[in-house]
Amino acid sequence: MADLSSDFLGIKSPNPFWLASAPPTDKKYNVMRAFEAGWGGVVWKTLGSQVKNVSSRYSAVNFNGSKLMGFNNIELISDRPLEINLREIKEVVREFPDRAMIVSLMADNTKESWHELIKRTEDTGAHGIELNFGCPHGMSERGMGSSVGQDPEIAKMVVEWVMERATIPVITKLTPNVHSVVPTGKACVEAGTNGLSLINTIQSITGIDLDNFVPNPNVGGSSTYGGYCGPAVKPIALKMLATLSLNNVTNKVPISGIGGVSTWKDAVEFMLLGASNVQVCTAVMKHGFRIVDDMKDGLNNWMDEKGFKTIGDFIGKSVPTLSKWEHLDLNYHIVADINQDKCIKCGLCYITCEDTSHQAINLKYGNPYNTYTIKEEDCVGCNLCKLVCPVDGCISMLEKRKGSEYLNWIEYQERGLPLNDH
């Protein structure tokens, strides 16, 4: 049995799976159910400025019959009375002392508002604070949320206000609605934030109703940009996380990974790229809290298999394998190989290579089954055929180096080797 316990800035939780600040964490009833189901911690839905919500609030992107590949919301921060939220947070902390209780905050844009909110939050016994610098809808129009996160100077100022008052760990949650998360991340670290978390949602329009022409979600015949999340955003989140892990300022603080985490595998990927733990929302909004069972179980089995005793053994392990394109080895070469025993003759590899890649697959017509083979000399090793092949292990990429030595772009140019010669 591996040790799944997590220590994030001294905040302990029995596993690295927290629920992100969102509808699933907006009241005691949900959070109690989450803790009973086994979640390691929660970030309570953002408290702060006074709001009023609209209906409807969510929309989704489905793909090939699979629902909620991407999810979008225009809900604001908590619309419940602050007193009730604070009382319930206090009660939950007392009932589940071994779980992490972080409270997300978004005060009005004055130092006093932030100080007042932090004081009242700390009085609940919560273990940490997460600053919501990411909400991309509604709040941002009022100069809060992502409006703060998109401007490193403003973010830095607010973090400074917060750090003057906070006595418990402060995590700053970043918005992805920027060209790079590094400037704001650096500014927040320099202003003293104890940790970072990312990503918040990405501004989006998920689709349009083709009968009434109104984008989703429809609020009485109108719509507005929402915040996109779910499995579709994971690759974007991973890349943004990696940029923080590779930056010498931002990688000095722990990072909580967010963005499309649905399974233990997703969680491991975030942690391999430097996240100390992960936060989940869309997956539980689709399936309920019960998914944490397999997340814990799967992580444990994987760690046992790999010989990792604690989660610290693998956090950040993939970061050193990332490099700039110009440092990649130009002598590394692979070619596709089709296992004819496994091939089901669907022709998908052929048509994609023929129409959109390098015409590197031979087609021998048969009735009704064709035979497909690789033209090794034309294969550039792009992976496309392997990616579209529906059969596991049917197409493999074989290593056929162009040369034995490591040769990158810089060296290649210096030697004056041929370009555009394919």
Partner 1 sequence: MAIKNNRLTEEQYKTNFSDIHPPFETKNTALFEANRCIFCFDAPCTKVCPTSIDVPKFIKQITTDNIKGSAVTILSSNIMGGSCARVCPVEKLCEGSCVFNKTHETPIQIARLQRYATDIAMNQQWKLFDRKPSIGKKVAVVGAGPAGLSCAHQLSQEGVDVTIFEKESKAGGLMTYGIAAYKVTPEFCKEEVDYITSIGGIEIKYNQELGKNVSLTSLQQNFDAVFLGIGVGLARKLDIPGENLEGVYDAIRFIYNLRNNDFNKTAVGDKVAVIGMGMTAIDAATQAKRLGAKEVTLVYRRTELEKPCTDVELEIAKLDGCSILWLAAPKEVIGENGKVKSLVCSKMELGKPDASGRRTPIDTNDTIILDVDMVIKATGQIPYTALLKNIGIRNSDGKIVIDESSSSNITAVFAGGDCVNGGKEVVDAVQAGKDGAVSILNYLGAK
Is the CB of 236 or the CB of 363 nearer to partner 1?
Answer: 363
Among the listed residues 135, 281, 379, 394, the single catalytic one is 135
DSSP string, 243-254: HHHHSTTGGGS-
19 closest CA partner among 310, 298, 273, 261 = 261
DSSP string, 134-180: ---SSGGGGT-THHHHT-HHHHHHHHHHHHHH--S-EEEEPPS-SS-
230: left (phi over 0), alpha (psi -120 to 50) or beta: left
Is the CB of 65 or the CB of 220 nearer to partner 1?
Answer: 65
Is the CB of 351 or the CB of 380 nearer to partner 1?
Answer: 351
Q: Where does this chain bind partner 1 (CB under 8 A)?
A: 64-65, 344-348, 350-351, 363, 365, 367-370, 390-391
Supply the minimum distance, in Å, between the C-beta of residue 4 and partner 1: 36
Is the distance from CB of 295 to CB of 303 less than 8 angstroms?
no
Is the CB of 236 or the CB of 388 nearer to partner 1?
Answer: 388
Strands (E), 259-304: 275-280
Is the CB of 214 or the CB of 249 nearer to partner 1?
Answer: 214
Rg of the chain's alpha carbons, rounded to an integer?
24
Let me know if 135 is a catalytic residue.
yes
DSSP string, 186-225: HHHHHTT-SEEEE--PEEE---B-TTT-PBSSPBTTB---
Supply the minimum distance, in Å, between the C-beta of residue 351 and partner 1: 4
Report the distance separating Cα 369 and Cα 255, nearest Å.
52
Supply the minimum distance, in Å, between the C-beta of residue 334 and partner 1: 23
Report the distance separating Cα 256 and Cα 5, nearest Å.
15
336 closest CA partner among 388, 377, 380, 397 = 397
Number of H helices, E strands in the chain: 13, 18
**Which of 66-105 are b and which e, b meaning 16 or more Cβ less than 10 Å from the residue's Cβ?**
eebebbbbbbbbbeeeeeebbebbbebbeebeebbbbbbb
Is the CB of 64 or the CB of 212 nearer to partner 1?
Answer: 64
Is the CB of 62 or the CB of 180 nearer to partner 1?
Answer: 62
Report the distance separating Cα 104 and Cα 134, nearest Å.
11
User: Known catalytic residues?
Assistant: 135
